[in-house]
Amino acid sequence: MKSTLNFTLTFLGIIHIGTIYAQEFEDYSETLKDDQITIEMVAVKGGTFVMGANDTTRKADEKPSHDVEIDDFWMGKHEITWEQYDAFVFGEFGPEQFKSKETLNDLGIDAVSGATPPYVDMSFNMGKATHPAVNMTQYAALMYCKWLTSKTGVFYRLPTEAEWEYVCKKGKTDEDSNLKNVAWFKENTNDKYEKVGLKTANSLGIHDLLGNVSEWVMDQYDADYYSASPKKNPWNTPSELYPRVVRGGSWKDTKDKLCCTARGQSKQKWKRRDPQIPKSNWWHTNAPFVGFRVVRPKIQPSKEDIKTYWLTAIEDYGLN
Amino acid sequence: MKPKKSQVTRRNFVKGTSLAAGGILLTPSLLTASPVFNKTKKLKLAVVGCGGRGTGAVSQALRADENVELVAMADAFSDRLEKAHSNLSKMFQTGKLKVKPSHKFVGFGSYKKAIDAADVVILTTPPGFRPQHFEYAVSQGKHVFMEKPLATDVAGIKKVLEAAKVAKAKKLNVVVGLQRHYQANYMETYNRIQKGDIGQIVSGQVYWNGAGVWVNPREASQTEMEYQMRNWYYFNWICGDHILEQHIHNIDVANWFIGGHPIKASGTGGREVRKGKDHGHIFDHHVVEFEYENGIIISSQCRHQPGTKTRVDESFQGTLGTAYTDGGGSARLKKYDGTSIYTHDNENDINPYQQEHNLLFKSIRNGEVISDAENGAISTMTAILGRMATYSGKEITWDEAMALEHKLVPDEDTLTFDSVPPITPDVNGNYPIPVPGKTKFI
């Protein structure tokens, strides 16, 4: 096990620029005092890895395996919890809640909007507080990142599919001889998710990457993407609402579904109990097995590049 | 010991059409067939109330049957109507959407022209207006899909019950959007309770504890009437409070599984958290004890308070075991030693919102009759009884409540946006809030 140095940063309003940590690429905790939440971030050194799988037992959409180069970034140690997510859903959105207009402008942000509160119980009675937040759309998960960015002045986003798989493989997450030590899945849960961080972390110190809840990544799902994806920091930018990629499997999945290369995809039917048209941009009604974690690139991109990450919502007219 | 088919004498209560688990419709044998629309006859559809739910219901109706087309729309507000039309245009080809500009009816009273233009009508305005719309639709011989609740006051309930009788006599199909009746986990649980899987029900708990809903703040240009219509959730005459507007779903499940309505209610409630000027005069929490015949007690909780524990489900205790159901599609029946009687797998369940319309149109085509209105009215009244109990802090019986001249809603045909609404704010912009111990119904 790699021992991680915990390095806590307090944001005093003078430290904003990501590059300042170039010499100090360490784990840290992001604390929002007003919202009483802390998000632990783990430093992940970039590198080149083989993405996908070539062996005959794996699915066609995991092929061909191919070399991918990933830059340094931080990744959330845990899935975002309900208390961390509710701070956004039920937060105040006055300008005083966020960084200065100038700072926001540098982050490609002109406005931050909050999710509508859900009408029903989105936790499906499986637990709140430090259980993982679920049922949010990919757009909502990304808007959470935008909210976090606007509060801290530091660029947070969802991981790309490649970054997620890189962490999973580099951390040897699915190599544990006994998967139940690191993951919650159908055979070892009671038909529900569990509090984050109860299982052993992977070798990078990241918990629950496999199982517990599937995790949104930034990409459009395309079964053939691997045959044409760029080598360096690939990201299949979404242009359609469905399907988008989720990774890692969840409490609902059988053990064989949990591995670093398996690719999940979002479905229209995850909103089947939304009686309104258009359907909610913020909530699924039937995805209590999907959550997310955040990442932060070590080198903060330019304003123009950041803007490409703030996807706009595509209205959902529901086809089933 | 085999339980009796019904645990409660059905006073003023006739069981609605029962659906077998497979979704097969059992036509009441006392009714002869209504006129059959053969498969190819175009059915004309109209919608009254063009919000998100109305638009959703139209999209389900248009998908439920090949030969149905939307021909008319009505809403109090033209912007709501146009938005709905534009959303539907993105979903459907022009073959299904045939609403001429002259068939877009706007304002108070616009429901009549829309209903006149159709064979089947969708009634999805806020509930205060439902009785008048339903009564008119039935008088004009239309088949109806209408959303819950069916009224906000006792006068409205009586109007709906009368119209329900007329609809039956005319063999009109009436489907009500208490969609749990069309949802597989609930249907299966109901059938198993009927069979005696958990014995006789003795008690239960039903919940809609959530964070609350949207607010549409006042705009300077609005008359008081327009403001209340736009921010309708917070005004009792239009909405009926969340114990009615949302929690009716769970209260309705209790009535359904027990097989009757309560004989009395007592409870407590108030405005603890949500008490701003834009929150009208409704409560943000209600806790009610409903007592049924034979001493069965149902505890009901509903809450609109952000940050509190959320929960939307139903539990029942029987003499032999327990049942748990929720809108997410779960159903778990267990014996008291913890062993499972039944666990529902909802993986391939049909969307209940779509199923309502599939069965409505199938029934129309086959000359059969679905009659949901009476059950919808009884469940609506049950929630109103709960609201009376929490507002007054008194115990109120079903019969006392039904005997009241309780009328909150004016005749829509007399209203304009300059009319004075039934409730108005004081000089500081605050509305009169019900006070337990002072507010009186009986």
Contact residues, chain A, for B338 at CB < 8 Å: none
Is the pLDDT at B66 greater than 50, yes or no?
Answer: yes
Any chain A CB within 8 A of the CB of B87?
yes
Res A54 pLDDT > 80:
yes
CA distance B227 to A39: 42
Helix (H, G, I), strand (E, B) or coil at B381: helix
Helices (H) and strands (E) in chain B, counts: 12, 15
Cβ contacts of A293 within 8 Å, gap of 6 or more = A75, A76, A78, A79, A80, A159, A215
Question: What is the model's pLDDT at position B412?
Answer: 98
Q: Flag whether pLDDT at A198 surpasses 70.
A: yes
| Contact between B53 and B60 (Cβ < 8 Å) | no
Residue A195, pLDDT score:
98
- Nearest residue, CB atoms, B210 vs list A121, A128, A276: A121
User: Cα separations (Å) of B117 from A111, B89, B98, B395?
Assistant: 45, 20, 12, 46
The residue assigned the tokens 């649980």 is B189
Mean pLDDT of B325-330: 93
pTM reported for the whole predicted model: 0.89
Contacts of B177 in chain A (CB under 8 A): 275
Contact assignment for B90 to A317 by CB distance below 8 Å: yes
Chain A: closest CA distance from residue B258 (Å): 24
Which of residues 345 through 364 in chain B touch A, CB cutoff 8 A? 351-354
- B56, A119: Cβ pair inside 8 Å? no
Question: Is the CB of B213 less than 8 angstroms away from the CB of A117?
Answer: yes
CB contact under 8 A, A120 and B327: yes
Test mutation, A277, A283, A284, chain B, max B CBs within 10 A? A277
Å between B390 CA and nearest CA of chain A: 22
Question: B213 vs A119: CB contact, 8 Å cut-off?
Answer: yes
- pLDDT score recorded for residue B94: 83
Q: Best interface-test mutation with B: which of A83, A116, A124 has the largest number of B CBs within 10 A?
A: A124
Give the span between the Cα atoms of A221 and A223, in whole angstroms.
Answer: 7
Give whole-number Cα distances, B404 to A155, A231, B40, B154, B282, in Å.
61, 75, 48, 7, 21
- Relative to beta strand B120-123, strand B143-146 is parallel
Cα gap A291→B186, rounded to integer Å: 28
Could you tell me if B172 and B216 are in contact, meaning their C-beta atoms sit under 8 angstroms apart?
Answer: no
pLDDT for B442 equals 81
Query: Helix, strand, coil % (nearest 5) of chain B?
Result: 35, 20, 45
Q: How far apart are CA B207 and CA B63, in angstroms?
A: 32
pLDDT above 70 coverage of chain B, percent: 92
Contact A317, A279 (CB under 8 A): yes
Q: How far apart are CA B23 and CA A51, in angstroms?
A: 47
When pLDDT is cut at 50, 70 and 90, the band that residue A320 belongs to is low
Q: Are strands B120-123 and B43-48 parallel, antiparallel or unpaired?
A: parallel
- Is A128 close to B309, i.e. CB distance below 8 A? yes
Ranges A204-208, B93-97, B238-242: which has the least confidence = B93-97
Q: Which two tokens stand for residue B26?
A: 């059992």
Q: Chain B interface, mutation test: which of A121, A126, A273, most B Cβ atoms within 10 Å?
A: A121
Instruction: Tokens for A151, please give them.
Output: 């509060």
**Average pLDDT of the segment spanning B48-72:** 97
What is the CB neighbour count within 10 angstroms for residue A269?
16
The answer to whether the Cβ–Cβ distance between A125 and B326 falls below 8 Å is: yes
Q: What is the pLDDT of residue B175?
A: 98
* Closest-CA residue of chain B to A122: B310
Give residue B15's pLDDT band: very low, low, confident or very high (50, 70, 90).
very low
Q: Which residues of B touch A274 (CB under 8 A)?
A: 56
A-to-B residue pairs, Cβ atoms closer than 8 angstroms: 84
**Nearest-CB residue to A120 (from B58, B312, B330):** B312
* Confidence label for B29 from pLDDT (cuts 50, 70 and 90): very low
Q: What is the mean pLDDT of residues A36-53?
A: 98
Question: Is the per-residue pLDDT at A11 higher than 90?
Answer: no
Nearest-by-CA chain A residue for B53: A276
Asked, as a colleague might, if the bond just before A278 is cis with ω within 30 of 0, I would say yes
Check CB contact under 8 Å for B211 and A116. no
Q: Please give the structure tokens belonging to residue A248.
A: 């890692």
User: Which residues of chain B neighbour A120 with C-beta distances below 8 Å?
Assistant: 210, 310, 312, 327-328
Mean pLDDT score, B6-33: 38
Contact A317 B328 (CB under 8 A): no
> Is the distance from CB of B397 to CB of B293 less than 8 angstroms?
no
| pLDDT the model gives residue A78 | 98
Q: What is the pLDDT of residues B72-110, one digit of tens each?
A: 999 999 999 999 999 999 999 888 999 999 999 999 999
Is the pLDDT reported for residue B22 higher than 70? no
Does B212 lie at the interface with A, CB-CB under 8 angstroms?
A: yes
Chain A positions touching B330 (Cβ under 8 A) are: 124
Residues forming beta bridges with residue A42, ordered by sequence position:
A75
pLDDT score for B35:
55
- Which of A108-112, A247-251, B75-79, B229-233 shows the lowest per-residue confidence on average (mean pLDDT)? A108-112
Residue holding tokens 């209560």? B13
User: What rounded mean pLDDT belongs to chain B?
Assistant: 92
Q: Is the confidence at residue B30, as pLDDT, over 70?
A: no
Round to whole Å and give the CA distance between B371 and B369. 6
pLDDT digits (tens, 9 = 90+) for B429-442: 999 999 999 999 98
Tokens matching residue A261:
């290369």
State the amino acid at position B96 in one-letter form. Answer: K
- E strands, B103-223, where? 104-106, 120-123, 143-146, 174-176, 201-210
**Rg, Å, chain B Cα set:** 21
Q: Residue range B327-332: average pLDDT?
A: 94
Contact predicate B377/B151, CB 8 Å? yes
Q: What percent of chain A has pLDDT over 70?
A: 92
A 10 A CB-CB count for B273 gives 16
Secondary structure class of B235 (helix, strand, coil):
coil
Residue B20, pLDDT > 50, answer no
Model confidence over B124-149: pLDDT tens digits?
A: 999 999 999 999 999 999 999 999 99
Q: Across all residues in chain A, what is the average pLDDT? A: 92
Q: Does the structure show a pLDDT above 50 at B379?
A: yes
How distant is the Cα of B372 from the closest Cα of chain A, in angstroms?
A: 19
pLDDT exceeding 90 applies to what percent of chain B? 88
A8 pLDDT tier (thresholds 50, 70, 90): very low
